[in-house]
Structure 1
Amino acid sequence: MIIKHADDKAKRLALLAELKKSALLDARQREWLDEELVRVRRGIEGERDAAFYIDSYLKASKNNAVIHDLRLEFEGEVAQIDHLFFNRRLDFFLVETKCFNGNLAINEHGEFSVTYTNGRTYGIASPVEQSKRHERILAKLLERLEITGRLGVKPTFHHLVLLHPKAIITRPAKGIFDTSRVMKADALPSWHQKWADEDVGIVDALTTVLAIRSSDTIKDWAEKLVRQHRPTNPLTLPDFMAPKVAVAPAVAQEPTPAYKPAKLAASNSLPVHTPDEGLKRKLVCVTCGSKITFAEGKFCWNNETRFGGFQYCREHQKTL
């Protein structure tokens, strides 16, 4: 039975796409946006592929409850579980999904790396260890919610890593490091059936009699877990992505020109003439109004302190 589908990521994608249009982004912000868009898109693709196979296998089952995209916050810690399903026997399966644009390799030490199409290889954090960290948070929350088997039998946790059906996985030699729970998404149903046939033995069956709960009970518990879901705000951005304020270009202040001609300055009886600002940068002498050559105008502009940004014919240049 499907209790919760994945949260809609459309708002997140729309925000990132809109931000990329901004002309105010610096190099760091553009790089982060590109990487975040790839991460979100690949995450959606990987979770969608895995959900398809999980749902196809378990949606009609009354003995299993399925929760997609569950984010829990408990005692200051966070667990982001891609997919979770559990049965009436309280076997909890935590599923991590990965969608790489490359090939996955696991060595004898349980270390994960990805070789991309450009030939470069990068180490990545172990998704198995990541899932185990989520288990610790989930286990504490289940105890707080009093989700347990009959006679106090506690839940059992299993960790699965699902990859795209076309992924290539290189594994260490058999018996060195167990990678049986890292698989392509389409292999999940056959793996789970084999687990049920082989791993649930006679001793486990006796435990099952004590721990087993009804279908209605696990449905209620799954809904209780979903009420603990704390989604992130799709519009949240890191601090360094704060928008920058567009700064208007500074306007150079024109120096106060020495408008008073030398001959007039000697006499305090004559007023000082201030040219019309509209005549600036025009090939017209502001004193006599006659047209001047470009060379005459350029000479005045190159001596702005002397002529105040105005222009004069050669005769009147001598008066300043």
Structure 2
Amino acid sequence: MILKSADDKTPQLTQLEQWAADPSSSAAQKKWASDELFRLRMGIQGERDAAYYLDTHFKDSQDHVVIHDLRLEVEGDVAQIDHMVFYRAGGLYLFETKNYNGNLLINEHGEFTAEYGRVQYGIPSPLEQSRRHERVLHKLFERLGIGARTQRALDMHHLVLVHPKAIIKRPPEKQFSTQNVIKSDQFPDWHAKFADRNLGALGALKLMANLRSRETLQEWGEKLIRQHRPPPLRNMPEYLAAKTVTAQTPEIPKPAEILPKPAAPTATQLPPSAVSPDKSHLAKKLICADCGAKISFPEGKFCWGNEKRFGGLQYCREHQGRF
């Protein structure tokens, strides 16, 4: 059962595209926005590819519930889980997706490196990242009453999925086990071997003791989805945002352009599309038509792209919410 698909990432993409194209952005800001945009697009594609293989494998299963793109906030900790699959025997698989165009190197210490030609970049361990998510989940599961029958906590198995065309260079298995780092299209084979390893005599007894109904798995999944908190739009790093303040002289509006804040709109007032003549001189200017404050180019561009909603004027984020 596929219970949740990935969220729409269009707002995040649009925000970064606007920063990268903003003529008032510095070269450093544009580079940061372009790099972030590339990483976001790569991540979206990697998660989409992995979801395809997982959905194909589990879509007709009566024993599994699949959740994609789950973000949880628990006691100040955040867990951004790419994919999660509950199974009826009292456990779940947690997946981290990594989309590399080059090679993935793992050494005997469990250190991960992405290799593009002769260039190498050290990257955080996705296995450790998934284990941090496990700690957040244990807190939330206890609160929501999600657990196995014969033990306090569910079994959690951590997997890293990489692009089918990536090359994985592994250390000897005895030095550091990488059996849970696999290519996305190899998951069905991994799953079959996992079942073989865990369904011996003791495994079968444990399975029967902890077996849950499909309805229970669905209930667990729905509880978690209600806890989903989509990520807010990001802020530019402080060291880059500060350059905007120092590099540009803020434009102080002329006294005639500072308008008194109007009273809260009522149902009898004209819609925002009916532009009053006394504000027409503010059209296409980076000045909020409500409070007279200078606004950013992305704020203005958003309003110009929604001309019918804002009547051809532009507003700061605070006053965009009035319409």
Which band: TM-score by shorter chain? 0.7 to 0.9
SS of aligned partner of 1:20: helix
Equivalent residue runs for 1:23-38 within 5 Å:
23-38=23-38
Task: Say which SS state the counterpart of residue 176 (structure 2) adopts.
Answer: coil
Secondary structure, in 3 states, of the residue corresponding to 1:159? Answer: strand
1:35-56: CA deviations, max 9, x gaps? Answer: 1101100100110110000000
Structure 1 counterpart of 2:53: 53
Q: Give the AA of the match of 2:230.
A: P
Task: Measure the CA separation in 2 of the matches of 1:110 and 1:235.
Answer: 31
Aligned residue in 1 for 2:125: 126
C-alpha spacing 1:87/1:241, structure 2 compared with 1 (3 Å): same
**What is the alpha-carbon root mean square deviation over aligned residues?**
1.9
Shift in alpha-carbon separation, 1:26–1:202, aligned structure 2, 3 A: same
Instruction: Provide the C-alpha distance between the structure 1 equivalents of 2:160 and 2:136, rounded to a whole number of angstroms.
Output: 18
In 2, Cα distance between equivalents of 1:94 and 1:104? 20
* Offset, 1:205: 1.6
1:178 pairs with 2:177? yes
Matched residue type, 1:51: A
- The unaligned stretches of length 5 or more in structure 2 are 252-323
Q: Which amino acid aligns with 2:190?
A: W
Number of equivalent positions: 248
CA distance in structure 1 between the aligned counterparts of 2:103 and 2:202, rounded to whole angstroms: 39
Note if contact 2:64-2:87 (Cα within 8 Å) is conserved in structure 1.
yes
Q: What TM-score does the superposition give when structure 2 sets the normalisation length?
A: 0.73
Identity of aligned pairs, percent? 50
Instruction: Tell me, yes or no, if the aligned pair for 1:89 and 1:212 is still in contact at 8 Å.
Output: yes
CA contact (8 A) 1:20 1:30 kept: yes
Distance (whole Å) between structure 1 residues aligned to residue 233 and residue 225 of structure 2: 19
For 2:87, the aligned partner's letter is: N
- Give the equivalent residue in structure 2 for 1:190: 189
CA distance in 1, matches of 2:241, 2:198: 49
Equivalent residue, structure 1, for 2:111: 111
Distance 1:152 1:126, change over 3 A: closer
Residue number in structure 2 paired with 1:227? 226
Q: Which residue of 2 aligns with 1:62?
A: 62
Q: Which amino acid in the other structure matches residue 115 of structure 1?
A: E
**Structure of greater Rg:** 1
Secondary structure in 2 matching 1:197 = helix
1:274 maps to what in 2? none
Q: Is the 8 A contact 1:153 1:210 kept in 2?
A: no
Contact 2:138 2:153 in 1 (8 A): no
Give the 3-state SS of the residue equivalent to 1:150 in structure 2: coil
Displacement, 1:19? 2.2
- TM-superposed CA distance for 1:102, in Å, is 1.4
Question: What TM-score do the two structures reach when normalised by structure 1?
Answer: 0.73
Give the match for residue 41 of structure 2: 41
Q: Is the 8 A contact 2:90 2:149 kept in 1?
A: no
**How far apart in 1 are the matches of 2:46 and 2:107?**
23
User: Which residue pairs with 2:213 in the alignment?
Assistant: 214
State how 1:1-320 maps to structure 2 within 5 Å: 1-117=1-117, 119-234=118-233, 236-239=235-238, 240-241=240-241, 247=249
Judge conservation of contact 1:84–1:94 (CA < 8 Å) in 2.
Answer: yes
Distance, in Å, in 1 between the alignment partners of 2:32 and 2:248 is 21
Query: C-alpha distance in 2, partners of 1:77/1:210?
Result: 32
Q: For the residues of structure 2 that align with 1:152 and 1:194, how far apart are their CA atoms?
A: 24
Q: CA separation in 1, counterparts of 2:179 and 2:150?
A: 32
CA deviation profile, 1:3-48 (whole Å, cap 9, x unmatched): 1001111121122112222111113311210111011001001101
* Cα offset, 1:162, TM superposition: 0.3
Q: Which moved more, 1:192-201 or 1:178-187?
A: 192-201
